[in-house]
Amino acid sequence: MASEPREYLRIERLPHVWCPGCGHGMITHALACAMAELELDPKQTAVIGGIGCSGRTAFLFDMDSMHTTHGRAVVFATGLKLVRPALTIVLALGDGDAIGIGGNHFIHACRRNLDLTAIIYNNAIYGQTGGQVAPTTPPAKKSTTSPYGNLEHPFDIARLAIAAGATYVARTTSFDFADMVKFIKRGIQHKGFSVIEVLTHCPTYYGRLNDLRDPYEMLHTIKEQTVPIEEWDQLSEEERAGKIVIGELHRQVRPEFVESYYRLIAQMQRLQENSVDGH
């Protein structure tokens, strides 16, 4: 059993392809640390990514991994979990991947409550394809397709996940390394669909287009926008404006889909056997 983060990684694939200063490497490191702290068996663990800079996480892990199609990673994970229920499956999803093109799959996965852990690398932009506006881009922020400022209202991923039925939801930032590790671990340990949204930085596109070129400055700017849930309730409406609540936002016990599915199959088989015996 591996217990050092590097033992979970395909070290021969490093250095990774992400831009210098990109937050995706920090989230990937946190995932490797979470796996090591939980002493997961790599032979019983899988990482599935979609397409996008974030999707490249999948092939950095030295275990069964899938680099799937854009927006469909949740679908591949659903199929894999149904045929291999004992596997621990982690999804590495971009915000565009998860709630842009893959939004419909994402909300239905929340509703079904399969035992999967989805980490959403929310950099508020489409990184890999050149910095287009995403469903998470804040109002007035620039992207290559909103050069005069975004006019759309963004999704709040964590709230969307809770409303759609996810049973473990946490949000943190790439600044809060210890919290990333803690929430990923809790998401993996939770029986049901877990969503860990990480607010992270894309200095190459989001930063360059929005006067935040320095990754260090960007990391701190994201952190300064957030308020821990423990302090959120004490804030007035005015104080909350422009701020984002972080922490463990939701935890619920609800039947997990794959367990219910196999229980139903066993029940039906017993019924069938009994009815055959009765004849």
Ligand X SMILES: Cc1ncc(C[n+]2csc(CCOP(=O)(O)OP(=O)(O)O)c2C)c(N)n1
Amino acid at 59: F
Binding pattern to ligand X, positions 126-165, x when CB under 6 A?
A: xxxx----x-------------------------------
Whichever of 95 and 115 has its CB closer to ligand SF4, that residue is 95
Quick one: CA dihedral 53, 59, 64, 66, positive or negative? Answer: positive
Total number of residues shown for the chain: 279
Q: Least distance to ligand X from the beta carbon of 82, Å?
A: 23
Number of Cβ within 10 Å of residue 87's Cβ equals: 19
Q: Least distance to ligand X from the beta carbon of 95, Å?
A: 5
Q: What is the DSSP letter of 207?
A: I
Whichever of 184 and 258 has its CB closer to ligand X, that residue is 184
Q: Which does 89 bind (CB under 5 to 8 A by kind): ligand X, ligand SF4, none?
A: none
Q: Could you tell me which stretch among 80-88, 120-128, 135-143, 148-156 binds ligand SF4 (CB under 6 A)?
A: 120-128
Cross-strand pairs, 122: 199
Examine residue 203 and tell whether it contacts ligand SF4 (CB under 6 A): yes
Angle at alpha carbon of residue 161, lines to 156 and 163, rounded to 5°: 95
Q: Least distance to ligand X from the beta carbon of 271, Å?
A: 42
Can you tell me which of 2, 8, 9, 18 binds ligand SF4, judged by CB under 6 A?
A: 18
Mark out the alpha helices in 145-246 (DSSP H runs).
157-164, 177-189, 208-209, 215-224, 229-232, 237-240
For 96, the token pair is: 């565009």
Q: Could you tell me which stretch among 3-11, 103-111, 122-130, 265-273 binds ligand X (CB under 6 A)?
A: 122-130
**Is 168 within 8 Å of 192 (Cβ atoms)?**
yes
Residues 6+ apart with CB under 8 A from 155: 99, 135, 136
Q: Could you tell me which stretch among 47-55, 76-84, 146-154, 162-170 binds ligand X (CB under 6 A)?
A: 47-55
> Which stretches of the chain bind ligand SF4, using CB under 6 A?
18-19, 22, 24, 53, 123, 127-128, 202-205
